[in-house]
């Protein structure tokens, strides 16, 4: 029943997108919860963050190549607070770009940049005319607004063979295009942003063994950071090199994120500063643990050392942004979890976009979920969506696992999900870290909790 309902809601969402209405999503990690998304290129435009990811779909005998990447279009998502994301719908489709080989399902990692009142969306894909390139080349679509409508150029950028375009505009106004094809290449762009102004050069001195791709260049305090996924061991990790010039040479400097803990072979990222905080956008295969070409975008905070080097980012489920206390707080997207007695599982393994649940089964087992905004007005009760076959009891605390008890929540025995409401015993205004703690050894599952 829940399954059918979920499919119905997804159908309605897709219909709404088709007729051009935007959809609002609440998110921790992964950021996008109703479709696969990969290769996030995040940009700050005005007072919002826009993310331009690839859109993985599953190949079938009729579309794409089973077992391989399959992408036919791009969506753009935006947020003003990094918690509530708007899906602006499809901005470019493979079969609506005149030079793209129809049904090639190869709309790989894109990027977007603003210049002189226009938004330039760069995307790599397969041309139908192989005189442009055998394999991948890069095209551009142009819009007046970051969410489009984007108008594709009639032909791809000449003299670019490869994938993963990335654009950087330096302080002097010179724009650069980067891409990958075994090596990482860079070239100047003309002011029109759709033609190269110089011959492509191979950027050095980067690792010469193991695949490198997905370049993303940014500048901070006069240093140019060339960041890229690289296979140092068996799968990709995010690394960076620094230099004094947008075209290098660069000096290999460090690792930004280790290989995916879920074994996702690719990673692909972007780095932005938004309201004084730096963020790393990247992807894992959260909704598709058994197939790593159906990925999901994520974001975590990124910090620099005083010498300008980047502190390694550990992927979290919690991600970024503040969660309002009166929403359905998905505690399975935790910051920390107790060493034993607590775990996370899909709500329904046959319908993974329904998300996850927290399973507590030992006295004192807990999960920690940070940055919940209780506001200033006193809250009176908490609701927990929970299930406990033998019955059980939870405690909700703030500050730390032994901090003030906000509520005691008894869960009646039963195999069905129930909404359990309990009075608040303690209230503190503002942003708090939340702990949900098991009071007994019984098996308790929690879908979400929220405060009224």
Among 91, 97, 109, 446, binds ligand FUB (CB under 6 A): 109
Nearer to ligand FUB (CB atom), residue 181 or residue 432 = 181
Element (H, E) at 8: helix 2-18
Q: Does 123 bind ligand FUB (CB under 6 A)?
A: no
Rounded to the nearest 5 degrees, what angle is found at the Cα of 280, between the Cα atoms of 182 and 85?
A: 115
Cβ of residue 48: shortest distance to ligand FUB, in angstroms? 24
Distance of alpha carbon 26 from the chain centroid:
13
For residue 39, the cross-strand partners are none
Rounded to whole angstroms, how far apart are CA atoms 3 and 86? Answer: 24
Rounded to whole angstroms, how far apart are CA atoms 68 and 77? Answer: 25
Tell me the number of residues near ligand FUB by CB under 6 A. 12
From first CA to last CA, the distance across the chain in angstroms is: 28
Helix or strand or coil: residue 186? strand
CB neighbours of residue 422 within 10 Å: 17
Q: Does 39 bind ligand FUB (CB under 6 A)?
A: yes
Q: Does 266 bind ligand FUB (CB under 6 A)?
A: yes
Nearer to ligand FUB (CB atom), residue 268 or residue 379 = 268
User: Which residues are annotated as catalytic?
Assistant: 56, 213
Cβ of residue 108: shortest distance to ligand FUB, in angstroms? 4
DSSP 130: T
Q: Does 125 bind ligand FUB (CB under 6 A)?
A: no
**Taking Cα atoms as reference points, which of 48, 69, 155, 59 lies closest to residue 112?**
48
Q: Does 435 bind ligand FUB (CB under 6 A)?
A: no
Nearer to ligand FUB (CB atom), residue 214 or residue 321 = 214
Binding map of ligand FUB across residues 145-174, x = CB under 6 A, - = no contact: ------------------xx----------
Nearer to ligand FUB (CB atom), residue 107 or residue 342 = 107
Strands (E), 245-309: 250-257, 270-274, 277-284, 296-302
Among 214, 215, 243, 319, binds ligand FUB (CB under 6 A): 214
Cβ of residue 407: shortest distance to ligand FUB, in angstroms? 43
Sign of the alpha-carbon torsion through 443, 445, 451, 452: negative
The tokens for 338 are 């107790």
Cβ of residue 299: shortest distance to ligand FUB, in angstroms? 16
Q: Does 54 bind ligand FUB (CB under 6 A)?
A: yes
Q: Give me the phi and psi of 185, to 5 degrees please.
A: -110, 155
Among 52, 69, 240, 451, binds ligand FUB (CB under 6 A): 69
Cβ of residue 136: shortest distance to ligand FUB, in angstroms? 9
Cβ of residue 26: shortest distance to ligand FUB, in angstroms? 25
Instruction: Tell whether omega for the bond before 30 is within 30 degrees of 0, i.e. cis.
Output: yes
Nearer to ligand FUB (CB atom), residue 283 or residue 318 = 283
The tokens for 190 are 């003309």
Contact 52, 71 (CB under 8 A): no
Nearer to ligand FUB (CB atom), residue 125 or residue 338 = 125
Among 72, 111, 147, 213, binds ligand FUB (CB under 6 A): 213
Rounded to whole angstroms, how far apart are CA atoms 74 and 35? Answer: 12
Sign of the alpha-carbon torsion through 329, 335, 336, 342: positive
The tokens for 183 are 């090596």
**Taking Cα atoms as reference points, which of 180, 175, 299, 170 lies closest to residue 243?**
170
Cβ of residue 164: shortest distance to ligand FUB, in angstroms? 5
Q: Does 268 bind ligand FUB (CB under 6 A)?
A: yes
The tokens for 255 are 């690792």
Rounded to whole angstroms, how far apart are CA atoms 102 and 325? Answer: 47
Residues 277-306 that bind ligand FUB (CB under 6 A): none
Nearer to ligand FUB (CB atom), residue 285 or residue 432 = 285
Nearer to ligand FUB (CB atom), residue 49 or residue 109 = 109
Cβ of residue 251: shortest distance to ligand FUB, in angstroms? 23
For residue 411, the cross-strand partners are 392
Q: Give me the phi and psi of 161, to 5 degrees please.
A: -120, 120
Query: Would you tell me which residues interact with ligand FUB (CB under 6 A)?
Result: 38-39, 54, 69, 108-109, 163-164, 213-214, 266, 268
């Amino acid at each position: 029943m829940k399954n059918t309902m979920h499919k119905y809601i997804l159908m309605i969402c897709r219909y709404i997108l088709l007729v051009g209405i935007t959809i609002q999503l609440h998110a921790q990690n992964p950021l996008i919860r109703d479709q696969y998304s990969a290769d996030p290129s995040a940009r700050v435009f005005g007072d919002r963050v826009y993310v331009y990811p690839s859109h993985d779909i599953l190949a079938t005998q009729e579309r794409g190549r089973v077992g391989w990447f399959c992408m036919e279009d791009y969506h753009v998502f935006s947020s003003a607070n990094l918690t509530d994301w708007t899906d602006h719908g499809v901005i470019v489709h493979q079969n609506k770009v005149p030079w793209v080989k129809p049904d090639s399902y190869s709309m790989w990692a894109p990027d977007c940049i603003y210049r002189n009142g226009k938004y330039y969306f760069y995307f790599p894909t397969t041309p139908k005319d192989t005189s442009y390139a055998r394999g991948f080349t890069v095209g551009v679509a142009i819009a007046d607004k970051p969410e489009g409508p984007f108008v594709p150029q009639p032909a791809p950028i000449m003299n670019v063979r490869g994938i993963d375009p990335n654009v950087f505009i330096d302080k002097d106004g010179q724009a650069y295009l980067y891409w990958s094809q075994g090596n990482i290449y860079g070239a100047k762009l003309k002011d029109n942003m759709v033609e190269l102004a110089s011959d492509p050069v191979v950027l050095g001195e980067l690792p010469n063994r193991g695949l490198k791709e997905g370049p993303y260049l940014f500048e901070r305090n006069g240093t140019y950071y060339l960041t890229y996924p690289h296979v140092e061991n068996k799968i990709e990790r995010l690394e960076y090199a620094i230099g004094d010039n947008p075209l290098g040479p660069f000096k290999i400097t460090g690792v930004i994120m280790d290989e995916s803990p879920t074994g996702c072979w690719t990673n692909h990222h972007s780095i932005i500063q938004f309201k004084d905080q730096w963020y790393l956008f990247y992807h894992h295969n959260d909704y598709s643990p058994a197939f790593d070409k159906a990925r999901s975008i994520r974001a975590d905070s990124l910090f620099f050392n005083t010498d300008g080097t980047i502190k390694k980012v550990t992927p979290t489920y919690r991600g970024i942004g503040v969660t309002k206390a009166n929403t359905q707080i998905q505690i399975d997207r935790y910051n920390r979890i107790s060493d034993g007695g607590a775990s996370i599982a899909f709500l329904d393994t046959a319908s993974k976009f329904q998300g996850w649940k927290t399973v507590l089964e030992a006295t004192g087992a807990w999960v920690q979920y940070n940055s919940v905004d209780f506001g200033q007005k006193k809250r009176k009760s908490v609701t927990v969506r929970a299930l406990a076959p033998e019955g059980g009891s939870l405690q909700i605390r703030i500050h730390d696992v032994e901090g003030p008890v906000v509520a005691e929540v008894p869960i009646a025995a039963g195999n069905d999900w129930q909404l359990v409401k309990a009075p608040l015993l303690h209230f503190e205004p503002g942003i708090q870290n939340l702990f949900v703690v098991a009071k007994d050894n019984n098996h308790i599952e929690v879908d979400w909790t929220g405060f009224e």
